[in-house]
Structure 1
Amino acid sequence: MFKKNVGSLDRILRIVLGVALLAGFVINGASGYGWLYLIGIVPLATGLMSSCPLYSLFGMSTCPMKKD
């Protein structure tokens, strides 16, 4: 599937941020710009998959280097 390029701390932060934004949508979704909370789907998905397309595009990775 996708190459893993999201490290442990980065992954945890993405999941927490995604869940917090989606919770904000549930709590405050009826406001005028409440739909913006749905952007939380992106960090949640990338955190759960351990892969970020933008990291791949720029050649970045927060995964620890493998020791040979």
Structure 2
Amino acid sequence: MKTNVGGIDKILRILVGLGLIAWALMGGPVWAWIGILPLLTGAMGWCPAYTLLGMNTCPLKKK
């Protein structure tokens, strides 16, 4: 697994993930638990969808 999520992308994923999880915990819709995915991809710095699409937002790991 090579890092393919960098900088602002990582911060936004973590914030959106935390926001969705908080909403789910406060009685929001069940689908808000999807926030686990952006939280994990932001924390790990790797996104499987980016790998499949050949994308990379990490400036140090560009091809």
- Tell me which amino acid in the other structure corresponds to 2:7: S
- Give the 3-state SS of the residue equivalent to 2:38 in structure 1: helix
How large is the RMSD of aligned CA atoms in angstroms? 1.1
Percent identity reads 51
- The TM-score normalised by the length of structure 1 is 0.84
Offset at 1:28? 1.7
- Give the 3-state SS of the residue equivalent to 2:25 in structure 1: helix
- The TM-score normalised by the length of structure 2 is 0.90
Count of equivalent residues: 61
Q: Distance in 2 between matches of 1:51 and 1:11?
A: 9
- Tell me which amino acid in the other structure corresponds to 1:6: V
Greater C-alpha radius of gyration:
1
List gaps (5 residues or longer) in structure 1.
none
Q: Distance in 2 between matches of 1:3 and 1:65?
A: 11
